[in-house]
Chains A and B, each alone.
Chain A
Amino acid sequence: KAGVTQTPRYLIKTRGQQVTLSCSPISGHRSVSWYQQTPGQGLQFLFEYFSETQRNKGNFPGRFSGRQFSNSRSEMNVSTLELGDSALYLCASSPTSGVNQETQYFGPGTRLLVL
């Protein structure tokens, strides 16, 4: 099976702009989680989507939002970008059924730079 894919891989934006990132999970995986990774804060959980519904949400401001489509692909949106939003954004998918239902597989990430 193809792995988790994310687009775009790199992105440069300016403060105040908005950005949309995309994640395509492994075929058959219905859960998609998003993480923000920065050198100082490690992997911070943003939110998780399962069957087009947000199942969990981390402690991020409302500028961060997401959605999931019927084919399990997910997008996350960040509005009114701030310098501190510069980070690697990772998504991970899980099968949610079977023996390894909880196991998360990560995509390559989207590196966002806010100037």
Chain B
Amino acid sequence: GENVEQHPSTLSVQEGDSAVIKCTYSDSASNYFPWYKQELGKRPQLIIDIRSNVGEKKDQRIAVTLNKTAKHFSLHITETQPEDSAVYFCAALGAFGQNFVFGPGTRLSVLP
């Protein structure tokens, strides 16, 4: 089955710097890759997603890149702000009918 690894497990950056979180997946049939942000005590919130027919997607300060050949995808956050501090989860969805597999999460701390 699918296996998703995520690195780093913790990340501290200075406010205004960029943050990059990387995930790798094992199933080449996976075709949908969302990223979720979970603040303390709150539900995971979808922040951006990408499908396998696209290499990059941007939404303001957030971008996701996908390398299907290497089977990895990355979350890029530019101009980080303290409110970006949270745990970020990546996930992969396999072929139709499969379930999501989540990475273990990255705790991002943006220091003022």
Residues of A bordering B, CB below 8 Å: 4, 33, 35, 42-43, 45, 48, 55-56, 58, 90, 102-109
Contact between B32 and A43, CB atoms less than 8 A apart: no
Contact between B46 and A105, CB atoms less than 8 A apart: yes
How many A-B contacts at CB < 8 Å in the complex? 42
Interface size on B, residues (CB 8 A): 20
Give 1 or 0 for each of B26-62: 1 = CB within 8 Å of chain A CB: 0000001010100000111110010000000000000
- The binding surface of chain A is classed by DSSP as strand
Question: Is B73 among interface residues, defined by CB-CB distance under 8 A?
Answer: no
Instruction: For residue B4, give the distance in angstroms from its CB to the closest CB of chain A.
Output: 10
Contact between A108 and B46, CB atoms less than 8 A apart: no
- 10 example contacts (A-B, Cβ-Cβ < 8 A) are as follows A33-B99, A45-B101, A48-B99, A58-B99, A90-B44, A104-B46, A104-B100, A106-B44, A107-B43, A108-B43
Q: How far is the CA of A109 from the CA of B41 in the complex (A)?
A: 9
Q: How far is the CA of A104 from the CA of B32 in the complex (A)?
A: 11
Q: In the complex, what residue of chain B is closest to A108 when comparing beta carbons?
A: B43
Contact between A45 and B99, CB atoms less than 8 A apart: yes
Contact between B99 and A102, CB atoms less than 8 A apart: no
Contact between A102 and B46, CB atoms less than 8 A apart: no
